[in-house]
Amino acid sequence: MSSPRRVLLGVCGGIAAYKAAQIVRCLQERGAEVRCILTRAASAFVTPLTLEVLSGHHVYQEEYLSANGSGRELHLDAASWGEVLLVAPATAHVLARLALGLADDFLSTTALAFQSRLVVAPAMHESMWDHPAVQGHAQALRERGVEFVGPVHGRLASGDEGTGRLAEPEVIADATLGLGRSASWNRRRVVVTAGPTREPLDPVRFLSNRSSGRMGFALAAAAAARGAAVQLVSGPVALDTPFGVERVDVVTAREMEAAVLAKAADADVIIMAAAVADFRPRERRDQKIKKVDGAPTLELESTHDILRGLGEAAPQAYRVGFAAETEDFEVEAERKLREKGADMIVANDVSRSDVGFAATDNEVTILRAGMGAERIPRLPKREVAERILDAVEAALEARADSA
């Protein structure tokens, strides 16, 4: 089945409605054409003009008949145009109306007439999301095949912490478009690591690095969108789990190694995108190191090289490592390719602020044994992830042909 390219976005009246503009952009960046439906309540949070300018289409509100005099009912036209109906944010009120089949505005009448996929991204306070009535409506919708994205745990509009936050626009866009994409990696099992590790000095201090985890999360999302069963092992990062990905959170290099090795034996592809600490304190103090005691002498020891160990733990897997360097990054990548037994090394220059740690873009060089370097220019990290997976896929096909 091809990826849906015509998305109807229904925006409901909640504070998270302000993210509708970003959702439109994320869908467009993934190749979708978007038309928006704005409920009466939603228009208090985001204007029709904003969504009309961004989408390039008239925004449906409460019109009934086409303005061209054809007599066509607009909600039927909208329902027949869309390949997927995404409701984001979906309030408790709208979930109830969808579950009960009520049809008293443009969005609900369109939803009743809609014959394709329906995706909802709820957003509300945790106490509302947990209410038995809301959970009952959500369950009824799931049983009818409606797909849910979130809600996720995080800081809510009220200032409270809990589950009820709208999933990130990128995650919503991936879920809306990713399920229908070509399942070229169907039945493949992929392990991806992401983010930094933290090596404790004492109960309040640790050694770490500036990795945001964005590249690893982009790779996990891209692999899941291709149909793979993806297990993401992540260090401490402030990112939502990509849609369709199983996530394991770890803190230290030792914990990351244990999590990867637990999954390595069954993996077809292992991508080590995490910035794993090379060293840790030899001794972890049980109590906070006091300033009055003077500057401590810090003795370090090497952590295990997880990528190098995968040659024995997962010889069947295609193993990809990353080389985040500040100088001579291609030379260092070639050395790592030889010494670590990897099938591929992805090298990038993290000294550059535009493509280094925490940047939204990346620029990398892919190196494989016996092959020349493939340079990927500066692109958004999701697009870089797709290029990396394309290179992995080509290598897997070549391996299968030579077997």
Does 199 share its domain with 321? yes
The verdict on residue 239 lying in a domain is yes
Q: What is the mean pLDDT of residues 334-362?
A: 85
Q: Active site includes 209? A: yes
Distances (CA, A) of 263 to 7, 233, 254, 314: 36, 10, 15, 9
Looking at the predicted structure, is the pLDDT value of residue 179 above 50?
no
Residue partners of 120: CB distance under 8 A and separation at least 6: 86, 87, 88, 90, 95, 98, 141, 146, 147, 148, 149
| Backbone phi, psi, residue 280, to 5° | -140, 160
Q: Give residue 403's pLDDT.
A: 64
d(CA 367, CA 375): 9
Closest CA to 24 of 86, 74, 83, 81: 86
Catalytic residue among 68, 186, 209, 362: 209
| 233-285 pLDDT, tens digit each | 999 998 888 877 899 999 999 999 999 999 999 999 999 999 999 999 998 88
Q: Give residue 71's pLDDT.
A: 54
Domain that holds residue 39: 6-178
At residue 359 the predicted structure's pLDDT band, cuts being 50, 70 and 90, is confident
Does 161 share its domain with 240? no
Does 94 share its domain with 205? no
Q: Give residue 392's pLDDT.
A: 94
The verdict on residue 249 lying in a domain is yes
**326: CATH:** 3.40.50.10300
Q: Give residue 3's pLDDT.
A: 54
Does 196 share its domain with 282? yes
Q: Give residue 65's pLDDT.
A: 56
Structure tokens at 80: 């027949």
d(CA 144, CA 51): 30
The verdict on residue 151 lying in a domain is yes
Could you identify the residue written with the tokens 């201090």?
Answer: 205
Distances (CA, A) of 306 to 14, 134, 175, 274: 45, 45, 31, 10
pTM of the model: 0.66
Q: Give residue 180's pLDDT.
A: 41
Does 345 share its domain with 381? yes
> Is-contact 248 259, C-beta < 8 A?
yes
Does 14 share its domain with 135? yes
At residue 350 the predicted structure's pLDDT band, cuts being 50, 70 and 90, is confident
Does 210 share its domain with 359? yes
Q: What is the mean pLDDT of residues 90-94?
A: 93
At residue 178 the predicted structure's pLDDT band, cuts being 50, 70 and 90, is low
